[in-house]
Structure 1
Amino acid sequence: MKGLFRKAKAELKKIDRVLDSDARPNSPLVHHPSYSSGRQQGYLRGMEHDQPSTITEPTAIDILRYQYHHGTNLGSIYVLERWLYPSMFPDDASGSSELEAIKSWVGKIGIEATKQKFEEHWNNVVTDADIDWLRNEAKCTAIRLPIGYFDLSRPDLLTETPFAPYAQVYASAWSSIRTLISRLRAHSIGTLIDLHALPGGANAAEHSGTNSGTARFFASNQYRDLSIRCCKYIAQEIKDGIDGVVGLQLVNEADWESERMYEWYDECISTISSIDASLPVIISDAWNFRQAVEYSLKKNSAYPSQPTAPVIIDTHYYWAFTDADKAKSPQQIISEVRTKLSELDGREGSVIDRGAVQAIVGEYSCVLTEDSWAKAGNTSRADLVKQLGQAQSQQWQHRAGAAYFWTWKMDWLPGGEWGFVAQTNNGAISTLPTYTIPEASIGPLLEKANHCKDERMYDAVNQHVSYWDHLRANTPYEHWRFENGWKVGYQDAFIFFQGWGTQAVAPGGKIGNTEVWVLKRIRESGFKGNFVWEFEQGVRRGIQDFEAAVGI
């Protein structure tokens, strides 16, 4: 073992390790791992095409965007659904969508009174006590916030849409949304902005904003262009100072085989990237997850021709709507949960070779059909609900970058099997275990990670050098890239776990969107050539070694 380590050490001595003494002010630890430039003047092999590195310590917004998110959907606040908020509909309203509620109220009480009613709904539904519960009891790190194009408070974005006559009602909607994002951010909670309702409807359901019963969005060039203007506006608003946005979702539950959908995705991603290429863009899988995986791998290449925002797939899991699911028992469904996201098998782990693919579960619940419950046998419904929720929590934490329960807010709290409050309180769904570590324990765990850092690095480098030099003797590897990557990965995981207490990022964080984080680090490294894979594997190993060191 010592002989192999000497060999690794000799290889690594070919470069100077320029360590930055960049300990953060007010950091709870004076001494913590630091980044290495991985460069040496005059070290030529493999570096003639490398570019200067732009890697720096993870920022507060980096942590908010790339940590694993245990979250919930806000619910029917900025895009109404009658089944969730019947109080926002007149009794004689003819439909169940946002547009029908607006029409009915304006007809009854006038546009100014309707505006006041909706503003009260937006501004009062989430109290300070609610946010405290969300952070301290539910241990949420983010919410998914469904909005409509009509909520952007831009009359020019409503032209020739059904909402044009009601632009006045939405004059302060965007300001309300911004305020909510800011309030959540102050409690270390990020916000995924979800363009839930697009003009014309990306699907035929009421949550597209109307009761038209048809999906007209993708077939309309006018609506497609309008939506790109919406994305451009939101991206610029985020760039100009909305703090706490973890990503922008382009569309919710697009219909299967939607017309030219991926072409539209390309346009949106290009537009957003031209404004802020660091903003994660979330796409709907349109119920075809495998196709979305292939698209994501191509978009998330290590070396794009121009700066491109990371792309993340949103997929939803429900067992309450199809005849096939009605035929299953709760026990069968619980077993099935553990097979979900298997389309990612063999697609992760090598951004250099394949590109990056990252998925989140934007919606899930603990709801099953009565047909399924009738097949439960002697096991109580309450026990099975808990098993279903726990199976989902575990599977999403294992395979996804985030999971958002449907839903949080409704007239009929705590919401039963649809309710985030109910299923949190009964223990059916739970946060990532790392987020329950007492803050007082974080410091000692970080000290432990510091103490064993060098030993773990030596072991990792030694194993890497030994394996590859044995596998392919006399191959001119560039193992120094692995060591550089290891240091970056270990430091990244360290800072995610340490948090930024003075900037409202709580400690205990864990890199959850690992594939797109590794993609980010590869792009920032400036490394080129045939051995960048060593840097990538070093980053991954460094993250793993830190997590092993602190037991998460």
Structure 2
Amino acid sequence: MKSFFRKAKSEWKEFVNDKDAGKPHDHHPSSHNHPTPNQSDQPSCISPPTPKDIFRYRYHHGTNLGSIYVLERWLHPSMFPDDTPSEKSSELEAVKAWVDKIGVDATREKFEHHWSNAVSDDDLVWLRDVAKCTTIRLPLGFFSLSIPRFTLSTPFSPYITIYQNCWTSILTLLSRLRHHSIAVLLDLHALPGGANTGDHSGTNSGSADLWTTPNYLNLSLQCAQFLAQEIRHCNLENVSGIQLVNESIWDAPNMYAWYDSCIAAVSAIDPTIPVYISDGWNLGRAVDWTLQKNTVYCHHAQCPVLIDTHLYWAFSDADKAKSPQQIIAEVPGKLSELDGKDGSVVDRGAVDVIVGEYSNVLSEDSWSKPNGVPKEELVHQFGQAQSHRYQTQSAGSFFWTYKMDWSPGGEWGFLAQVTNTSITPPPLPSSNPTSIPSLISHATSLAPTLKQTAVSNHISYWDSTSPGQPFEHAKYEAGWTVGFQDALSFFSGCGGNVNGGSKIGCLESWVLKRIKESGFRGPFVWEFEQGLRKGIVDFSEAIGM
């Protein structure tokens, strides 16, 4: 395996040192027609992917860990006193009730026990080896960060001592997950005032006061800064990103202005950390906005921005009126907002979307219309349709949810749905990790021929399509080399530092990253991009992925 990486590093060095070889001296508009600033090429800073890169940019197949650091009574009723009124279902109400009943110290011990024992070592092995999870989404509250000032002027302020060891618990969980090569998306699920009206925002206020309260917005921004600082200073390499907010209400006032502020604040700490935004149930708007943020010619270092969207079919009156078969037929059309938005970062910018929450749950109204098909079969069809769609159209998907008192959880339970094969991981060329070296050896042996064919076809196409026009085909060849070796590194797991078998899932964001690192500027950057994409495709096809 090490010989493959020595060869890869040699090819990268050759690219960095000789990237201008064969380049025409004069820049002319290419026949690829796109607006490009007239800039000179800069030195390359491309280096082989690191474990941190793989944790952040591979395809994220996983689950939410659910009601661990942000309680929801329907998932963990055991964390509420038996006499708690039914309408009191949030984290805040659980804390208040226990403090009133058993006092602060005993309540802190109870919550710390819940955090420490929610995920066992057997759970982690199952997530890695059976469910094939690469990443989990971890819902957090602003109170989970163990910083008293984050709770000032919020209802959690009197109870902050309950959470004094919460962040330490989270760090311990991150370390345990890293041991199993599982990445973590840190999801700021509950923010001051609430980003939505649900109890999963931490309280039962029934309002989304975050968006109209400047102090709450500022505190939430500081939470994102705190996470960025911890990721950087503690070298939390298996954190795949920071999600700024969960399930924002539709058309929240000033939401995108606040996103701008948060992205700038996190970028000032570490511009390499991926930042995830909520689409606020309007994916099309979020896609258009993100394409404008993730551009090649941004004049300052900025975090890559990705989108979190949620897909459920159980709650609206319109969905309740549908049969399971009608809903299953809708799944292949989801995420259509991405159609035509990929394939050319130079032209359009970059956008990647994860499905941060989904389930196999339908309403009882829908299940009452089975048309003679057993429910178990319909659940399987629904889950398989979702698995296939999200794995081909998104950068990752996270089932809701894994942990609950009533596991395995039925159509809400990741354990149940993986066990009955309704939810399946992306297909890999082999389920046996020991076959990875032989697959890489096979792909590497084909690389010279694949490269020659790709470059030759590229040159022939453009020379025949636009005869007499100047090009910089050396950029295409350089891109192919980088793309092929990048895909190899993701699949190998950086020589064993991360579990192998992954593909580049956040592809548009990765392409943007590589273009910026390449140093290429001017009107022919598109040739590097198209070569990069072709190299990735050629490697994937060579191993049968």
Alignment partner of 1:427 is 2:418:
no
1:62 to 26, 43, 53: 53
- CA shift in 2, pair 1:315/1:436, >3 Å: farther
Alignment partner of 1:400 is 2:394:
yes
- CA shift in 2, pair 1:58/1:30, >3 Å: closer
2:266 to 261, 272, 289: 272
User: Who is 2:539 aligned against?
Assistant: 546
User: Who is 1:14 aligned against?
Assistant: none
1:227 to 220, 226, 242: 220
Report deviation, 1:45: 2.1
Contact 2:66 2:402 in 1 (8 A): yes
- CA shift in 2, pair 1:30/1:305, >3 Å: closer
Amino acid across the alignment from 1:50: D
Report deviation, 1:433: 1.2
Q: Percentage identity across aligned positions?
A: 55
User: Who is 2:33 aligned against?
Assistant: none
Q: What SS does structure 1 have at the residue aligned with 2:281?
A: coil
Report deviation, 1:92: 1.9
1:20-74 per-residue CA deviation (whole Å, 9 max, x = no partner) reads xxxx8x5677655732224247956268711100000000110111000110000
Contact 1:142 1:190 in 2 (8 A): yes
1:409 to 403, 407, 421: 403
User: Who is 1:467 aligned against?
Assistant: 461
Write the distance in 2 (CA, Å) between the matches of 1:271 and 1:265.
10
Write the distance in 1 (CA, Å) between the matches of 2:149 and 2:417.
41
1:45 to 25, 29, 40: 25
User: Who is 1:248 aligned against?
Assistant: 242
Write the distance in 2 (CA, Å) between the matches of 1:538 and 1:40.
15
Q: What SS does structure 2 have at the residue aligned with 1:176?
A: helix
User: Who is 1:386 aligned against?
Assistant: 380
User: Who is 1:181 aligned against?
Assistant: 174
Pairwise mapping of residues 199-214 of structure 1 onto structure 2 (< 5 A)? 199-214=192-207
Report deviation, 1:500: 2.9
2:156 to 163, 166, 174: 163
Contact 2:429 2:544 in 1 (8 A): no
User: Who is 1:125 aligned against?
Assistant: 118
1:295-321 per-residue CA deviation (whole Å, 9 max, x = no partner) reads 100000111120010000000000000
1:515-534 per-residue CA deviation (whole Å, 9 max, x = no partner) reads 00000001101111000000
Report deviation, 1:434: 1.8
Write the distance in 2 (CA, Å) between the matches of 1:29 and 1:259.
49
Write the distance in 1 (CA, Å) between the matches of 2:43 and 2:136.
36
Q: What SS does structure 2 have at the residue aligned with 1:335?
A: helix
1:426-456 per-residue CA deviation (whole Å, 9 max, x = no partner) reads 0000111128531121111111111110111
Amino acid across the alignment from 2:158: P
Q: What SS does structure 2 have at the residue aligned with 1:493?
A: helix
User: Who is 1:476 aligned against?
Assistant: 470
User: Who is 2:68 aligned against?
Assistant: 77
Amino acid across the alignment from 1:464: H
Contact 2:19 2:474 in 1 (8 A): no
User: Who is 1:152 aligned against?
Assistant: 145
1:48-106 per-residue CA deviation (whole Å, 9 max, x = no partner) reads 71110000000011011100011000010100000000000012223000000000000
Q: What SS does structure 1 have at the residue aligned with 2:326?
A: helix
- CA shift in 2, pair 1:192/1:46, >3 Å: farther
User: Who is 1:107 aligned against?
Assistant: 100
User: Who is 1:330 aligned against?
Assistant: 324
1:339 to 324, 333, 336: 333
Write the distance in 1 (CA, Å) between the matches of 2:117 and 2:98.
19
1:529 to 491, 513, 522: 522
Write the distance in 2 (CA, Å) between the matches of 1:145 and 1:425.
22
Write the distance in 1 (CA, Å) between the matches of 2:403 and 2:195.
24
1:133-171 per-residue CA deviation (whole Å, 9 max, x = no partner) reads 110111100100000000000011111110000010000
1:98 to 91, 97, 108: 91
Write the distance in 2 (CA, Å) between the matches of 1:437 and 1:512.
18
Contact 1:105 1:114 in 2 (8 A): yes
- CA shift in 2, pair 1:518/1:41, >3 Å: closer
User: Who is 2:35 aligned against?
Assistant: none
- CA shift in 2, pair 1:186/1:111, >3 Å: same
User: Who is 1:458 aligned against?
Assistant: 452
Contact 2:195 2:246 in 1 (8 A): yes
Contact 1:28 1:443 in 2 (8 A): no
Write the distance in 1 (CA, Å) between the matches of 2:244 and 2:280.
12
Contact 2:79 2:94 in 1 (8 A): yes
Report deviation, 1:243: 2.8
Amino acid across the alignment from 2:527: E
Contact 2:19 2:475 in 1 (8 A): no
Amino acid across the alignment from 1:490: F
User: Who is 2:36 aligned against?
Assistant: none
1:388-439 per-residue CA deviation (whole Å, 9 max, x = no partner) reads 0010000000000010000000000000000000000000001111285311
1:193 to 159, 167, 186: 186
User: Who is 1:7 aligned against?
Assistant: none
Stretch deviating more after TM superposition (344-353 or 41-50): 41-50
User: Who is 1:519 aligned against?
Assistant: 512
Contact 1:46 1:529 in 2 (8 A): no
Write the distance in 1 (CA, Å) between the matches of 2:172 and 2:93.
26
User: Who is 1:8 aligned against?
Assistant: none
Gaps of 5+ in 1: 1-23
Gaps of 5+ in 2: 28-38
Q: What SS does structure 2 have at the residue aligned with 1:194?
A: strand
User: Who is 1:89 aligned against?
Assistant: 80
Amino acid across the alignment from 2:416: A
Count of paired positions:
527
1:261-318 per-residue CA deviation (whole Å, 9 max, x = no partner) reads 0000000000000111110000000000000001100000111120010000000000
Write the distance in 1 (CA, Å) between the matches of 2:340 and 2:465.
22
- CA shift in 2, pair 1:54/1:31, >3 Å: closer
TM-score of the superposed pair, with normalisation by structure 2: 0.95
Contact 2:24 2:471 in 1 (8 A): no
TM-score of the superposed pair, with normalisation by structure 1: 0.93
User: Who is 1:134 aligned against?
Assistant: 127
2:438 to 429, 438, 444: 444
Stretch deviating more after TM superposition (300-309 or 31-40): 31-40
Amino acid across the alignment from 1:525: S
Amino acid across the alignment from 2:378: L
Write the distance in 2 (CA, Å) between the matches of 1:441 and 1:371.
47
